[in-house]
Chains A and B, each alone.
With several copies, the nearest count.
Chain A
Amino acid sequence: MKGNMSIEIVDVIDTSTVFAELSHPHSGGICVFLGAVREFTDNEEVLSLEFETYKIMALKEMKKIAVEASEKWKLNKVIIRHAVGAKNVEEPVVIVGASSAHREACFIACRYLIDTLKERVPIWKKEIFKNKSVWVSAHP
């Protein structure tokens, strides 16, 4: 399985190749989730987001998550890719995906990849509004 994982932190996410990357002769299903910058948070207009990471640890955690998913479900390929730097509205921020023989496994694995990434991977997002900026989730 490990040769069939792609774990990366990149400046820009290219969405055009992801299905080809997840394709596998034994996979009848491919599920992909893409997270993008939304224009509004709590009705306030977001100008952009800025992502920073503790890269060496983030890559290790992303790899652990991909391995966990592969142990829980029979997956043929897994992708976890996160962007860093400044991102504008509609730009992709994260893409995760899995391919499997049948659709059940790739759907549930894809959901696990993004949920667990958000819980554990050391990446921080700052929302830039017109008159302020906020580190997301920093305070209760």
Chain B
Amino acid sequence: MEILLFGIAKDIVGKSSFRFDADDLVPTSVSELKDRLKGSFPEFGKLSSLAVAVNSAYAEDSDRLREGDEIAIIPPVSGG
């Protein structure tokens, strides 16, 4: 399962994407993914907000993650 990273999320992790492999504990929901990120990188807990997109649309915390989904971490947006 590949996770895309943008903006400050990319800086926190140090790369523009990373993978959970089959022998990792692959997160099964948006909230589980957020908790895993905050556990591994405490900087995520300090952001103003943290959203996840699944297949290029905002996802709810309760949404399930499936292998093959395009998953992205959306730190606070600041367009305009």
Contacts and interface: CB of A to CB of B under 8 A. Distances in A.
A99 B48 CA distance: 29
Contacts of B47: 138-139
Contacts of B56: 54, 56-57, 60
Contacts of B76: 135, 137-138
Given A54-B6, A138-B7, A125 B79 contact: yes
* Majority-rule SS of A interface residues: mixed
Contact of A124 (B48, B53, B58, B75): B75
Contacts of A136: 78
A54 B75 contact: no
Contacts of A82: 79-80
Contacts of A18: none
A118 interface: yes
Nearest to A114: B80
B77 A121 contact: yes
A140 interface: yes
A72 interface: no
Interface residues of A, number: 29
Contacts of A119: 77
A138 B74 CA distance: 11
Nearest to B75: A138
* Among A53, A114, A123, A137, residue most surrounded by chain B Cβ atoms (within 10 Å): A137
A57 B57 contact: yes
B72 interface: yes
Contacts of A52: 6-7
Interface of B: 4, 6-8, 11, 46-48, 53, 56-58, 72, 74-80
Interface of A: 35, 51-54, 56-58, 60, 82, 93-94, 114, 117-126, 135-140
5 contacts: A53-B79, A54-B6, A57-B57, A82-B80, A124-B78
